[in-house]
Amino acid sequence: MPSTAIRRTDYDPESHKLSVWFVPSGDRYEYEGVEPEIYDAFRCAPSKGRFFNAFIRDRYSYRLVERGKPGFGG
């Protein structure tokens, strides 16, 4: 199901790093130490934004990896 908050995700199971691209900015953040089970549940969640806020945001270390391009989310 499409999300109004999250445009795309990518997960590296070896490093346990989750990349999240946000709408509308297109900014990409990387979250460290995300367990595979959390990512699987995130992928299957009917509301990506709600799941992210409840189970990922403020629970994992993160950093801004890339700023979105102007007009990215438009």
Each residue's pLDDT tens digit, 2-54: 688 999 999 999 999 999 999 988 999 999 999 999 999 999 999 999 999 99
pLDDT, residue 74, reads 44
| pTM of the full structure | 0.86
Instruction: Report CA 44 to chain centroid distance, whole Å.
Output: 13
pLDDT, residue 53, reads 96
Grade residue 68 by pLDDT with cuts at 50, 70 and 90: confident
Q: Could you give the C-alpha distances from 62 to 1, 2, 70, in angstroms and in order?
A: 25, 23, 23
Residue found under tokens 């460290």: 32
Question: What backbone torsions phi and psi does residue 35 show, to the nearest 5 degrees?
Answer: -70, 150
